[in-house]
Structure 1
Amino acid sequence: MTRSRAIELRHLVALTEVARTGSFSGAADALGYTQSAISQQIARLERAVGHPLIERPGGSRPVSLTTAGQLLLGHATAITARLESINADLNALTEGGAGVLRIGCYQSVGVRIVPRILRTFQQQWPQVTVELTEAEDDGELLTAVERGDLDLTFIAYPLLPGPFAHRELLEDPYVVVTRETDPLGSDPGPIRPADLLGVPLVTYAKMREVHAIEHRLGRPELRDQIAFRSNDNGTILGLAAEGVGAAVVSWLSVDRSRPGMRTRALAGVPPRIVGIAWHQDRYRSASSEAFVRLAQQEAYVEQELIADTLSAAPGSPRLGDSDGGIDEHLAREDPVHDV
């Protein structure tokens, strides 16, 4: 307790900036201090914790953190994130039904679901401006929620650990998209992962490791068959339509109006679960709660479309049949989960 009481917030902020910029001068510029003031704050922090925190190589080489510095940086980052959340909460409380609602999303959700949500949301909340932040990796978006830069974000489970509450929205099954004339797509029934062995594949690029297709399919050896990876769904589908490889993607990533390709269900692979998350300890505005409700409504509509489309193919089970059918699955109100 004696050590922790001697630590001041400004010292932790200085440590965070020194680590981020790699220099005392960079931290000084970012925080509006002199370089000597930053040096004094770090020295006081080192005396308070009783450990050297920064390796100072001298010259133009960047500084680095000691083991103790790395340990303390983890706590400092969490503390500064909470401070930023305080500012975000106060702004939201002041703005009430007006102001800005900041939403994070990734491409497939941004194309297929978000536009329909926004159409209705803007009619109901005309004084609220929605700002969208897009990223290929929902881990980046969750970090922004924790930091207070986003109010809500769409996610793909499993959820990263952190101070998040969340709600499941829909099951997004994996499919295989091929060129229209490719023999792999000629059979209307579902494709098995074993059918993909030896087939050139195209799929997603940057994402959390758990979402990588080779892991989702439970076949790490497929990594060697991936001819191209892209962060753009249009590029992935274009490559599939030209016969460069079979695209392994989720249903929401498919543009059904695009010519020259066929889409088949992928059997025996659990669907991607799409959800929405927010900071469990932060103030939630009425507009934020309304956005979540609209997301649930639109997800229900999309889930019905997925089920009807996939069940129309011969040999394709209706999505959700394993636990009571899609209608029963969507009719029940999923609770809010705190992690």
Structure 2
Amino acid sequence: MLDLRHLATLHAVAEEGTFGRAADRLGYTQSAVSQQVAALEKSVGGTVFDRPGGPKPVRLTPLGEVLLAHGRDLLALAAATEDAVERFKAGEGRVDIGTFQSITNVILPTVVRRLLDEQPAADIRLFEEETDQPSADGLDLVFFDGPLKGDVEQVKILDDPYVVVARHGQFADGPVPLQALDGAAMVAQPPICDQARVERVYAEAGVAPLIVFRTADNRGVLSMVRAGMGIAVMPLLTLDIPPDDIRTHEIEPALTPREIYLAWHANRTLSPLAKRVIDLTEQAVRQLR
């Protein structure tokens, strides 16, 4: 079996012309170069250099020419592979991330920008889905507003409190009592993910808002509140900076915040790039707080 070290020695001797100069180039002793050439000749079953002796340079035999012609390709492939491994360890490669609107709009722009500043060749793929229980299959990392079930590891990155969103002047300054939502026209998100839990809290408190419109588009909810169609109860992370005609109010008693998690497959080694996404996400959340 050919040894890449032996091929590298063959290449160096062929270019330098002597075992001594090849040894200087490779950082070996001359005897070590001779031993490697001998081992190469033994493995291929023939002589690879004609050795005229004296000051004359050695020359490749026909077998040596064949070995060097193909060996250059192997050495180049090995160097490219080594370079790719080093770049992978440094954070290059591809990372597939499952996300949803709030994370896409608020957290991931900072993460992606920093990641590309560090690793311009990184291949980042985002997959956005609004679902009750996303799957981590085929993904390196998944964001979700609640703990994921199944064979995953996960970390809670954020508690996202709920607020009432209403037109200016619709409520007095200060917190809005939960009971004030009873019978109120409300624009809401579909009853999936954490929205379903919030609506169960309403029901348990005997509060029955009048849902006049549902949309999974956070901006659509705000647009209809702004138009006067109704109020909304939304997590803070879903809100853009509200214009003058929109106000946010705390709820009294406060609803339990939605919990946002970042998850990945259990018992599976994360790439350096995926690990860096986790680090940058935690940094972005700390700055957001």
| Shorter-chain TM-score range | 0.5 to 0.7
- 1:336 counterpart residue number: none
Q: Which of 273, 277, 280 is 1:291 aligned to?
A: 277
When normalised by structure 2's length, the TM-score is 0.64
- CA displacement at 1:201 relative to structure 2: 1.0
Q: Which of 156, 168, 181 is 1:168 aligned to?
A: 156
- 1:250 counterpart residue number: 235
2:247 aligned with 1:262: yes
Closer, same or farther: CA 168–178 of 1 in aligned 2, 3 Å: same
When normalised by structure 1's length, the TM-score is 0.55
Question: Which of the two has greater helix per residue?
Answer: 1
Q: Which of 100, 115, 124 is 1:121 aligned to?
A: 115
- 2:50 counterpart residue number: none
Supply the AA of the counterpart residue of 2:164. V
How far, CA to CA, are the matches of 2:123 and 2:211 in structure 1? 41
2:185 aligned with 1:200: yes
- CA displacement at 1:171 relative to structure 2: 1.1
Supply the AA of the counterpart residue of 1:151. D
Closer, same or farther: CA 173–139 of 1 in aligned 2, 3 Å: same
Closer, same or farther: CA 223–95 of 1 in aligned 2, 3 Å: farther
Closer, same or farther: CA 118–232 of 1 in aligned 2, 3 Å: same
- 2:176 counterpart residue number: 191
Write out per-residue CA displacement over residues 163-209 of structure 1, whole angstroms, 9 at most, x where no aligned residue.
11111111100011111232x2xx22122211211111111115237
Closer, same or farther: CA 223–117 of 1 in aligned 2, 3 Å: farther
Alpha-carbon contact 2:182-2:209 (below 8 Å) kept = no
- 1:78 counterpart residue number: none
Task: Name stretches of at least 5 consecutive residues in structure 2 with no aligned partner.
Answer: 1-84
Alpha-carbon contact 2:182-2:208 (below 8 Å) kept = no
Alpha-carbon contact 1:105-1:138 (below 8 Å) kept = no
Between the two proteins, the alignment pairs up a number of residues equal to 203
- 1:73 counterpart residue number: none
- 1:178 counterpart residue number: 166
Structure number with greater Rg is: 2
- 1:326 counterpart residue number: none
How far, CA to CA, are the matches of 1:198 and 1:296 in structure 2? 40
How far, CA to CA, are the matches of 1:119 and 1:94 in structure 2? 19
The two structures, once aligned, show a CA RMSD in angstroms of: 2.4
Q: Which of 259, 262, 269 is 1:273 aligned to?
A: 259
2:145 aligned with 1:151: no
